[in-house]
Amino acid sequence: MTSPTRLAASACLSLALLLGVASGARAGQLDEGVAAADRGDYGKAIALWRPLADSGDEYAQFDLGVLYALGRGVAKDETEAARFYRLAADRGHLEAQYNLGVAYEKGRGLPADDVQAAAWYRKAADRGHAGAQYNLALLYDQGRGVDQSYAESAAWYRKAADQGHAKAQYNLATLYAEGQGVPQDFVAAYMWFNLSASRFSKAEAPLRADAVKNRDLAAAQLTPAALAEGQKLARDWKPSPGPAQ
C-alpha cells in the first residue's frame, strides 16, 4: 500500500458564543448578551458582557474575545481577542484554553510560540477537548513545541478520533497503515479511514475522497475475513461523549 499523507493543518479557533453556567443575575446578563449577539445587536452584547468580564467572569471574557476576533461590534483586534482568551483561560475556561493555544500556534495577537501552544492545548486536551487533542497530536507528529513522538501523536489522535473528530480519525488511520507509533494494522487503518470518510462535511469533499481512496487501498491488503472484521468495527463504532464546559 502506498503510504498515505497525513493531514497537516491544525483545527481552527472556536468562535461560537457560549452561554453562562452560573446561576442568578450574572448568568441572566450573560445569556441576554448572547441573545443580543444572535440577533446582531453586538453593541448591547458588549455593554452587557464588559462589566462581567471586568469583574472576572470567564464566560463574558471568552465571548468578548470572540467578538474581537470576528470584529463584531468592535474593530477586529486579534491582540485584544488573545488578551480576553488569556483572562478566561487562566480561570479554567475550556474553549479559551483551546483558542489561546491556536493564537500561540498561529501567531494571532501573540508572538507565535509552539511551546506555549502545546502547553495550552494540553490543558484543554487533558479535559477532553477534541480539537485540542488533535492539534496537540499534530505537534507531536511534527515535533513542534514538543519532542517528536509518533506514539504520543497516536495516543492523542485516538482520543480525538474516539469523539468523532474526522481529521484525527484520518491521521490515526495513516499511522496504523504505516506502523508509526502503533503496530501496523490494516484492519484498524480500514476502520478509521472508513469512519473519517463518513464524517467529513460536504465542504471537505476532497478530504472525504482521500479517505475513501485510502480506505480502499487498506482493504486491498486484507483477506475477506479481515475486511469483514474492519467493516463490522466501523459499523459498531460509537463516539465517546465530549467534555463538559
CATH 1.25.40 assigned to domain 26-91? The reply is yes
What is the Cα gyration radius of the chain? 20
The answer, yes or no, to whether residue 13 has pLDDT greater than 80, is no
Per-residue pLDDT at 243? 83
**pLDDT of amino acid 152:** 98
Instruction: Indicate whether 210 pLDDT > 70.
Output: yes
Please tell me the predicted confidence (pLDDT) of residue 168. Answer: 97
| Domain boundary assignment for the chain | 26-91
Q: Which amino acid is at 155?
A: A
Sequence-distant (6+) residues with CB within 8 A of 146 are 114, 115, 118, 139, 140, 152
